[in-house]
Amino acid sequence: MAPRLVKTTGLFLFCLLAMFAIFAYSQEGNELALRSQEAKQLMASGNFGQAISVYRELIRAVPNNAGLRLNLGMALHMAGRKPEAIPQLERAVTLDPRLEPAWLFLGATHLQLGQPVAAVKPLRTVLGLEADQHQARQMLAEALFLLDRFQEAMVEYRKLTEFEPESAPAWYGLGRCYESLAGRTFDELEKTAPESGYV
C-alpha cells in the first residue's frame, strides 16, 4: 500500500498564519499593505485564483519580498497549480533561508507531485529550523520510504511515535519500515546463502 500523503488542508492552515509582507510606511506602502490584506482574505475564503492575481500584482511592485513569494506559492498550490508553485517557493527560501513555512510547503509540493528526492532537502531544512515540526517529519519519513531508504524512514517514524504515541500513521509507517527491511534482508540472504539454515 502506498504511503498516505499529508493532507494539504492542514498544511495550508499552518502556513496561513505565517502569511506576511513588509512594506515601507508611505502612501504606496499603505496601498500595497491593503492589497496584501485583501489577498490574505481571498486565501482564507478559498478564492485562490483571485489571490494569485493580487499576489502577482504585489510581486511586480515588490519583487524581493520573501513573504509575498511564499503566499503566491501557497495560492498556486491550493489552486491545483503545484508545478507553478515550486519556483515561487524556491525564490522565497532564496530570499529568506529561515522562512520555515516556505520550506515546508516546498517539500509538501514536491512530495505531492511524486518527487520524493526533491522533497527530502526542504523537509530536512524545516527540521533543522524546528525539530518539533511533526508535520515535516511525517512527510520526510514518507519521502524516504518512497525512496526505499527504509532505515532512514524508520528513524523518523520512530521519533514520531515518541513525540505522538497515539499517532496511528506513525506506528503504521514504522511497521511498514520493519516489514520492508525484513523482506530486503530475506532477499539478500536467499541470493548469498540459499542453502543456509537461516533461510
* Helix, strand, coil % in the chain, rounded to nearest 5: 75, 0, 25
Which residues have C-beta within 8 Å of that of residue 161, sequence separation ≥ 6?
Answer: 167, 170, 171, 174
Q: CA–CA separation, 195 vs 199, rounded Å?
A: 7
Residues 89 and 134 in one domain: yes
Domain that holds residue 199: 148-199
What is the pLDDT, as a whole number, of residue 1?
37
Residues 119 and 176 in one domain: no
pLDDT tens-place string over residues 114-163: 999 999 999 999 999 999 999 999 999 999 999 999 999 999 999 999 99
pTM of the model: 0.82
* Residue type at position 100: E
Domain count, the chain: 2
Residues 86 and 109 in one domain: yes
pLDDT tens-place string over residues 31-44: 888 888 899 899 98
In a domain, 3, yes or no: no
The CATH number given to whatever domain includes residue 82 is 1.25.40.10
Cα-to-chain-centroid distance, residue 185: 31
In a domain, 12, yes or no: yes
